Structure 1
């Protein structure tokens, strides 16, 4: 075996080891670094959202992120001392693992702090609240309430609290998951599923903007808070984001943004406070 071959073999091994090391490097780095200090130093914080779940996050006519969560995220970044937000598009089902892998510092997209999620990531003080309802085709008069969902195909967005709630409470229904929140509405409109579970604001906004022949039926199924999610063991980031949100709730910013993006006179801060006391 000649020396040239040995050198090539050694080089290949070193490159392979380096590549394997780089796969886990972002996650290991993020777990060791104070992410708030790093974001302030670089002037940039990465915040994930779907950009496909209006009115919470979507793309506007200039193909830029827009929506309630987007505006709240920009204001939070400003108040914690970070000049720029880099929005990262991802799926609901990827958010928790994306945080743990260091793909972004925060998730702000109508994400509910469930007990299962809190085992893996931390959450800030809540900045949103919504009620979840049943949506059916406009011509459907058979489904009026939760009992009518028995034996039906129910659409939900994968990885959302809508999915976990449906699987826990609609045991006699077939739960159909979608990676893209918009596709579930389209499939309902053309009859591929019998109903879907969505937030009142999100469902009505999507149906109205896209002129879909669907309607909301029945009483509220459940109320769910939304908060900013982040990696565990980042106390400075969690404290700073929570303080920013609390100040925004107190000074009227949350109500102003919710009125703008939800299209109603809605006292979001008051509703959140009442839900937190329950």
Structure 2
């Protein structure tokens, strides 16, 4: 091939690559809420692999606490249909900023770092994060025992942020998929996992894994709906929907269904807000 043909081919490939890379990016409407009401559709991102918040059920349908909350929020803000977009925690912020979806609802904590880039609704969930190890592990009983240990976390999650800030002498290993981190724990590739009490226990039960949680809760984290900045109508509508769902018992009903019959989601949200 002649040089100029080769250069042109490389240039074309580069352009096509850029087009492919930008394929998910969309023009963000000036008013996302008005657009969603007009089209009858709102796009909500979740991992679909972080039970009990979002998962695929035995019929491969998206299910979970955040999924049902999202559907109810959509109904209350006047949008008929929710299209769930599967993505990973590490992509959620950028996905919102390029218009890949309108909301993120998957146990996402409104941290100061994230709030610099995107907006959050009022909280609709809260959870404790714990240390999980194999049942046979007798070395790790609390946070101080994680020194020099291999600790698994979900990439881009608040678990990772907390672990990197508080476990500086541990070997932090990240996973895009919440399921893979437990597989590596079971196979002995890592020594411990930091994940929510609910997510860890649910995953252990469903997959019959010989794991246990140890020590006191490491951190107590709220979750809220994430959205691109500059959408006051959307934020106000979602906040009202969540407030009404807390007041009329919907949040309590959904949390007891998905997280556990004894779990007081509303009470723990209030307690977490007091500690901020």
**TM-score normalised by length of structure 1:** 0.90
1:35 to 32, 36, 42: 32
Aligned residues of 2:53 and 2:106 also touching (Cα < 8 A): yes
State yes or no: 1:157 paired with 2:151: no
Change in CA separation of 1:140 and 1:242 when aligned onto 2, cut-off 3 Å: same
1:175 to 167, 172, 175: 172
Give the 3-state SS of the residue equivalent to 1:177 in structure 2.
strand
- 2 CA distance for matches of 1:19 and 1:93? 22
- What corresponds to 1:78 in structure 2? 75
1:232-271 map, 5 Å: 232-271=229-268
2:116 to 101, 109, 119: 119
Bigger-Rg structure (1/2): 1
- 1 CA distance for matches of 2:232 and 2:26? 17
- What corresponds to 2:106 in structure 1? 109
Change in CA separation of 1:20 and 1:168 when aligned onto 2, cut-off 3 Å: closer
Root mean square deviation of aligned Cα: 2.0
Give the 3-state SS of the residue equivalent to 1:274 in structure 2.
helix
- Structure 1 runs not aligned, ≥5 long: 1-15
- 2 CA distance for matches of 1:142 and 1:23? 45
- 2 CA distance for matches of 1:253 and 1:267? 12
- 2 CA distance for matches of 1:34 and 1:23? 25
- Structure 2 runs not aligned, ≥5 long: 1-13
- 2 CA distance for matches of 1:210 and 1:22? 37
State yes or no: 1:53 paired with 2:50: yes
Give 1:28 deviation, angstroms.
6.9
State yes or no: 1:91 paired with 2:106: no
**TM-score normalised by length of structure 2:** 0.91
- 2 CA distance for matches of 1:26 and 1:211? 37
- 2 CA distance for matches of 1:201 and 1:188? 17
- 1 CA distance for matches of 2:160 and 2:128? 14
Give 1:269 deviation, angstroms.
1.1
1:138 to 126, 135, 150: 135
- 2 CA distance for matches of 1:197 and 1:17? 41
Give 1:25 deviation, angstroms.
9.2
Aligned residues of 2:133 and 2:213 also touching (Cα < 8 A): yes
- 1 CA distance for matches of 2:174 and 2:68? 28
User: Number of aligned pairs?
Assistant: 263
- What corresponds to 1:193 in structure 2? 190
- 1 CA distance for matches of 2:128 and 2:159? 11
State yes or no: 1:216 paired with 2:213: yes
- What corresponds to 1:9 in structure 2? none
Give the 3-state SS of the residue equivalent to 1:86 in structure 2.
strand
Give the 3-state SS of the residue equivalent to 2:68 in structure 1.
helix
Give 1:261 deviation, angstroms.
0.2
